[in-house]
Structure 1
Amino acid sequence: MAADLRAMILSKDLPPGSKLPSTAQLQQEYGVPNQTVQNAVAVLKREGYAESAPGKGVFVRERPQHVVTPAAFITPAPAGQPYPWLSEAERRGLTGSVDLLHVAEVVPPAQVRLAFGLGDGDVAVLRKQLMRLDDEPAELVHSYYPVDIARGTALAEKRRIKGGTPRALTDLGITPHEFVDQLSTRPPTPEEFTTLELPPDISIMRTFRVVYADGRPIEATVMVKAGHMYEVQYHHVVNPTSG
């Protein structure tokens, strides 16, 4: 029942502000007792999809899913301007903020080592951040950089960078030209569950991104989001072939 209602909310068949079917309607439709209906509605409330209005019923929250456009944050911000992720949050009427959790040289995960061509004991510079929207955890980000690029630069310092890391790379004379994303879903790790303040039984959306400049991988990032709060939007221009 909760899955069916969630699907209707995500498809906009139950748009924001609309009233959920009554307990009596759901009992009749699904042939279940009152408590089962209450449990299903409680799940939707924990997930942030629904909220109660005393004396009126349960309504779909006026909070749409966050739409992620993968290419939007690769282009460096103009000098002196905020990181594009923060600017995009403001454009959508949200307040974005970034908690810088950790900066260090570490042995990265195997997927990152493979992308960078590193050996088992080789290190990379890690920048670990928690992105927030309206002060709520939105995304846990681990970004890795080759040490010959990052060591001794702002990328290796435990401080926020004006304009974000794309700006820092550009200031080093490195301009990203392309990136490759791998998207997957899975249950959260204990750290992800706690840090992102996830409801029970929610999968995360994981993006593994490798950014290239002149054919060389210069950044590898693991981005983890709450799977029920985001949708990914792609925009491709198709060039039809002649003949």
Structure 2
Amino acid sequence: MTVPKAEPQAHDRRSLHERIAADLRDDIMTGELPPGANLPSTAQLRSRFDASNATVQKALQLLKEERLVVGRAGAAVTVREHRQRTIRPAGSLTPAAPGEPSPWLAEAAEQGTDARITLLGVTETVPPADIRTALGLQDGETAVLRSQLLLIDDEPAELVKSYYPRDIADGTPLMEPHRIKGGTATLLRHLGHEPHRCVDRVSARVPTQEQFEALRLPGSLPVLCTLRVVHAADGRPVEATSMVKAGHLYELQYEFGPE
């Protein structure tokens, strides 16, 4: 009997400073190096990775550009506070109370951050194929697009593109070039399309040029993409939203139990 040959082991072709940054990034994201903690000293990193001082400094510079750590040459390098944010999707379906801000703004305030939403534009457009499928639109059929940039402490956090069927959006504030008080979940509820269920599809992708520039990404790190489809109680999809975040700064937390 012929024994199949073992597959050759894959070799990490990244440069040494990129590999060092990757391992330190993982220590930060897993909490091994929590916010406010000092990174190991340059001497310790040189020993751990069998690297030169210049290579270690290049690795640390990558992490600084990614907004994960702060520090200067000759001083301790520290993990930034709020270096990783946890998003809880279920909260986005909760309509805001009268006079209260949207759930996203309210949660950011509870975490002690200064959050704001910039409306980039409101247009009528033919959505991408995945959005058309999600909303049940025909090829060439248009929808209303609301584009927004979410910022935390003046840093871009998320690029959001929300699409609405024309018959739902026509003649409503969804068509107007203004922020919607309380968020769209509150407005949809008032329009008789109360969000009842949402379905998320999450993927990691290489950022597009638009995403790279809008989020001020530091390099070739992936982005975390969520396509969320919101359904009313009758099952009709009433909103489809593309949400893009820097993959190295965010995680999603889903909570569920037995039905």
Q: Identity percentage over the alignment? A: 53
Contact 1:79 1:167 in 2 (8 A): no
Contact 1:183 1:208 in 2 (8 A): yes
Offset of residue 80 of structure 1:
2.3
Q: 1:188 aligns with which of 203, 207, 213?
A: 207
Q: Which of 146-155 and 55-64 deviates more?
A: 55-64
> Residues 54, 29 of structure 1: CA spacing in aligned structure 2 closer, same or farther, 3 A cutoff?
closer
Contact 1:211 1:219 in 2 (8 A): yes
Task: Give the root-mean-square deviation of aligned CA atoms.
Answer: 1.3
Quote the residue 2:149 is aligned against.
130
Offset of residue 177 of structure 1:
0.7
State the one-letter code of the partner of 2:122.
Answer: V
Q: 2:250 aligns with which of 207, 214, 230?
A: 230
Quote the residue 2:98 is aligned against.
79
**Pairing of 1:23-42 with structure 2 (within 5 A):** 23-42=42-61
Quote the residue 2:239 is aligned against.
219
C-alpha separation between the residues in 1 aligned to 2:110 and 2:152?
Answer: 12
Offset of residue 60 of structure 1:
1.6
Q: 1:58 aligns with which of 55, 74, 77?
A: 77
Q: Which of 182-191 and 74-83 deviates more?
A: 74-83
Offset of residue 29 of structure 1:
2.0
Count of residues paired in the alignment: 239
C-alpha separation between the residues in 2 aligned to 1:234 and 1:114?
Answer: 24
Quote the residue 2:195 is aligned against.
176
Quote the residue 1:44 is aligned against.
63
State the one-letter code of the partner of 1:86.
Answer: L
Offset of residue 64 of structure 1:
3.7
Q: Which runs of 5+ in 2 are unaligned?
A: 1-19
TM-score of the aligned structures, taking structure 2 as reference length: 0.89
Contact 2:67 2:83 in 1 (8 A): no
Contact 1:53 1:59 in 2 (8 A): no
C-alpha separation between the residues in 2 aligned to 1:13 and 1:132?
Answer: 27
Offset of residue 99 of structure 1:
0.6
Structure in which a larger fraction of residues adopt strand: 1
Question: Structure 1 segments of 4 or more deviating over 6 A?
Answer: none
TM-score of the aligned structures, taking structure 1 as reference length: 0.94
Q: Which runs of 5+ in 1 are unaligned?
A: none
C-alpha separation between the residues in 1 aligned to 2:179 and 2:224?
Answer: 25
